Structure 1
Amino acid sequence: MGKEIFIGIDGGGTKTTTVGVDSNGNELARHTSPCSNYHSVGEDLAKAAINEGIKNVIRKVKELMKSNTEDNQDNEVVVGSICLGMSGVDRDQDKLLVGSWVKEVLGESINYRIHNDAIVALSSGTQGKLFGIVIICGTGCISLGFNREGDSKRSGGWGPLLGDYGSGYQIGYDILRHVLKAKDEVGPKTSLTKVLLEKLQLTKEEDLISWAYDPKTQSWQKFAQLSPLAFEQAELGDQVSNLILSDAANALYDLINSVIKKLGLDKEEKFPLVYTGGNIERKNILSDLLSKKILENHSNVEILNTTCDPSMGAALLALNSKK
């Protein structure tokens, strides 16, 4: 008969993490391979990263079984189902392509699911259940949810050029904006000026022009990397920093509230809301402001943090798809 396992894959922008769990959701093995976003590295390298992860997790489970005397006589591994949480894979044609790679390794009859990374993030907080809402606030931000009927809705995720309000990018951008308003004396003075120039090793506000517009270093991340300054200075009482984080909390609330309304979750007795992403997954001023506003308007929300990483969240989705 062999041992049935369930595989989850988190295909991020820098690496791919593959996890295998047993029928009780216990982790058996994991493997890290290179980036599997084919929009970034091409189809061949993305396919190789996914195949490497699957094959190595199966190999490691077999080795684990061999080391267990009870399983010594039969070390066959059967993959019951597999779930992939992939960045950059939203369209049907993308899912069919990635699915074809999975079938090459596990066979045409394999039960597989491919979700975007927001769905896997939700699962990481709900232990594999697709019910409730996730709010992700990292460099970008998005809110996504499911109701009990399995309907899914989302808000946000449009990227900085189209309005990533509440995101790490927007917080960083707002820091720059308020520092320059203070310089022009059209806004209040802020302690952000000193710490921003120190962080970027600049001597005066005018130097921000070359930093911001340097074509060799253009990225959304470099703006998002400024966001911790707002958290630090808000803790020290800087009013401008507190205003920036208050604006971010209001923007994130709007995304969450939109999904609640679209899914009719306001009529539920209770539903989970999962916080994830570097700006809100830990308790801080922003997460506190957001929680306060949510609970003032939706007393039936249960706010959760993720309890496992995205690859395990994907594995639990794979496991639950067989139940």
Structure 2
Amino acid sequence: MGPGAAMRPEGAERSAVVIAETVRRAAALAGVDLPAARLVVGAAGAGRAQERRELEAALLAHGVARRTRATSDGEIALAAAFGKEGGGRDGAGIFLNAGTGSVAFARDPEGRVHRSGGLGWQLGDEGGGYWLGRRALQAAGRATDGRGEGSTLLSRLLAALGLTDFGALIRWAALASPAQVAALAPHLLNAAREGEAVAQRSVEEAARELVALVGALARHFPEPEPLAVATGGGLLRPTSPLLAAVRAALAADLPRAQLARRTVDAPLGALRLAAEME
């Protein structure tokens, strides 16, 4: 309903401005008076304590709610996937997200929340959109200079970006933002879906990286009990070859994992967290 409001270091006020305006427009459409009693916000980049505190203070200053809770978008999805009336035992489970980046959140049987990944493209985000987009660029480059096998990835990328040759792609990549590189990931997934070996290997490697996030959190769950896992993010839609590869990697590396097939309704998670606010 509004523009992006991802948190960046020292960026709480900028995010709060966007969120507050979105809240005001939503309240006007719903006929709800402000300030609201409770406001729960899930924002990318707000997964750590300092960013949460800064965003909560900034939102309070904008007067859209009397009490606020800021958290990451992944933790909101975790609450949606594993409410106490669903998901794993007592609402326990792991939520794996692959979009521009990659991260996994877990709620253990005692109700504690843990995370793995979500370090950003500079430090990690393996298996996410930026990682796959860069793999597509690398494959195109290696094929062009003779270090890698041929594929249609170069022609796919040129067509998608409106470029004419590899030299133009080099210039584009030098100026591209992480989000622009991540937007190339679907072209690699399409190539994998159509049977191209280079792309399929990248998808399988991405799946192993994503399953490693789940594996890092599995230690918080007693064995040999089944481990509930839900997925989300633009790269893990039901028909995605990456989701199929994640399912296969889980079966091989973490057989007690049970991958949910239902859709995660993130706004429901925000409502659940709001209801828990004291």
Q: Taking structure 2 as the reference length, what is the TM-score of the superposition?
A: 0.82
- What is the aligned partner in structure 1 of residue 135 from structure 2? 174
- What is the aligned partner in structure 2 of residue 242 from structure 1? 200
The answer as to whether partners of 2:7 and 2:44 remain within 8 angstroms in 1 is no
The within-5 A match list for 1:277-296 is: 277-296=233-252
1:234 maps to a residue whose letter is: A
The Cα shift of 1:35 comes to 4.9
The Cα shift of 1:281 comes to 2.7
CA-to-aligned-CA distance 1:258-285 (integer Å, 9 cap, x gap): 1112x1x251523321111100132321
The Cα shift of 1:248 comes to 0.8
CA-to-aligned-CA distance 1:109-144 (integer Å, 9 cap, x gap): x5x533211111212322477621111111111112
Asked if 1:95 is matched to 2:46, the reply is no
The alignment yields a C-alpha RMSD, in angstroms, of 3.1
Asked if 1:192 is matched to 2:153, the reply is yes
CA-to-aligned-CA distance 1:137-167 (integer Å, 9 cap, x gap): 1111111212112333322112222232211
1:124 maps to a residue whose letter is: A
The within-5 A match list for 1:281-320 is: 281-304=237-260, 307-320=263-276
SS in 2 for 1:187: coil
1:166 maps to a residue whose letter is: G
The answer as to whether partners of 1:175 and 1:230 remain within 8 angstroms in 2 is yes
Cα separation, 1, equivalents of 2:190 and 2:50: 44
1:230 maps to a residue whose letter is: L
Identity of aligned residues (%): 25
Asked if 1:226 is matched to 2:184, the reply is yes
The answer as to whether partners of 1:175 and 1:226 remain within 8 angstroms in 2 is yes
Cα separation, 2, equivalents of 1:127 and 1:316: 7
Unpaired segments ≥5 residues, structure 1: 1-31, 64-75
The answer as to whether partners of 1:61 and 1:77 remain within 8 angstroms in 2 is no
The Cα shift of 1:189 comes to 1.1
Q: Taking structure 1 as the reference length, what is the TM-score of the superposition?
A: 0.72
CA-to-aligned-CA distance 1:240-269 (integer Å, 9 cap, x gap): 1111111111111111111112x1x25152
Aligned residues: 271
The Cα shift of 1:81 comes to 4.8
Cα separation, 1, equivalents of 2:92 and 2:181: 33
- More strand, by proportion: 1
- What is the aligned partner in structure 2 of residue 123 from structure 1? 79
The answer as to whether partners of 1:86 and 1:114 remain within 8 angstroms in 2 is yes
The answer as to whether partners of 2:53 and 2:70 remain within 8 angstroms in 1 is no
The answer as to whether partners of 1:168 and 1:227 remain within 8 angstroms in 2 is yes
- Higher RCO (C-alpha 8 Å, min separation 6): 1
Asked if 1:132 is matched to 2:90, the reply is no
Unpaired segments ≥5 residues, structure 2: none
Cα separation, 2, equivalents of 1:243 and 1:308: 28
Cα separation, 2, equivalents of 1:136 and 1:43: 23
CA distance 1:156–1:78, shift in 2 (3 Å): closer
SS in 1 for 2:234: coil
1:95 maps to a residue whose letter is: R
CA distance 1:222–1:79, shift in 2 (3 Å): closer
- What is the aligned partner in structure 1 of residue 210 from structure 2? 252
